[in-house]
Chain A
Amino acid sequence: MSLSIDLSIVVPIYNEAESLKILHGEIQAAAAPMGLSWELILVDDCSTDGSHRIALELRKNDPHLRIVRFSRNYGQTAALAAGFDQSRGDVVVTLDGDLQNDPADIPKMLKELERGFDVIAGWRKDRQDGFVLRRLPSMIANRMIAIVTGVAIHDTGCTLKAFRREVIERLPIYAEQHRFLPVMSQGSGARVTEMIVNHRPRLFGSSKYGIGRAWRVLLDLMAIKLISQFSQRPLRYFGFLSFLFMIFGGFFASVGLITTGAQAAAFENNWTVNTWQQTVISVTILIWMLMVFFAMLGLLAELVVHASGMHKRSALSRLMNEQS
């Protein structure tokens, strides 16, 4: 974008009428003393409680404010994506609209970026939420993400994050939750770190999350692993799964061999088998079918990637230019 500025702050809002004014004041207090050119992008996810009116009111007195309004409710991920798309800053900071993140952390994050990082993830070390419903599932999810992807971040769920512009432009943020952005960035070559941020209890409104997300996070994790680390060579991912099924099937076959014993080997009985042997044989075949199936899927994925032209010279040189 030609009209480049230093800092974009992206805040998705959905029914945050009470906190909006305070939030705006705090962001102003944090951003103004830094002496940078900045903008605040409020992405209104089609709020129904008058947040929109308040935002327009605030905009009258603050030229830094830009408001993007969706035509219907699309969720936080889409709101963040829209904020990224509209942002013009060299650095983009995302922030929750419910005042639980502290805008005073923004200057600290910028300092951290200057030390040579591309992505800073906030870490709500002293988190002010219920333990069983919010913190425990979050801890489990974060551990799993760290183990599966190898990107060790304590708190992927914190909305307060800072990104360099180059990272965002390389990042395909389509359906993914914001929690995977650090993982995706690292997959595309960015240097990622985390920083302890302040977290405050919720003052207004209610939480917009539920525990039903666990399964979806798991599925997203599988997808992220695939596309962030294996999108150039999907056959390896599928080949690995295929290999797992081979081992698993082999395990079953050996169980069958051991339990039936040598004396009952089929060829000695004129190739008739008892029911237990039959079961072991069919289960083994089924599992080995999975092995073949996943290998075929992997080839199919290779075909898709090949046909997409992602390897074309233009696409590659774009990446290289941004990194040099």
Chain B
Amino acid sequence: MTATTIEAPRSPSRPVKRRGVNWEKWGWIYMRASGIVLIVLIFGHLFFNLMLGDGISAIDFGFVGGKLADPFWQWWDVAMLWLALIHGGNGMRTLINDYATLPMTRGVLKSAVLAAVVVLIVLGTLVVFTFDPCPPGQPADLLPALCAAR
């Protein structure tokens, strides 16, 4: 006698997932991947700003202006900005899912988080790539001292 073949007792009542991108899964993977990259980016950022050279006393308008003139630091900062804001935004989304029970509250809070993330990413990216410490045609008394050297 061989083992009897028995039909599956029932099909799942929850419809098996539609095809397409599984956001929940990619969100979960993103949190881990971006977390690892952010550790490198943030500690690299802190080490360069606070430890190297004159350390914290070197930080002034000129220091930041100088960094943002260098494409390396521009991309470093933009990567940090995008990864951290999406990481934080996604984390807030899961918190809202955990704590807000009414669909209305959920919707409002998640829209607010999304808006904040989008605005900050757009503004931040704009500033990093277009920042000019010495805008031309401005009165000299409004400009930092380093512009006089130009």
| Chain A complexes with chain B | no
A residues contacting B by CB (< 8 A) are: none
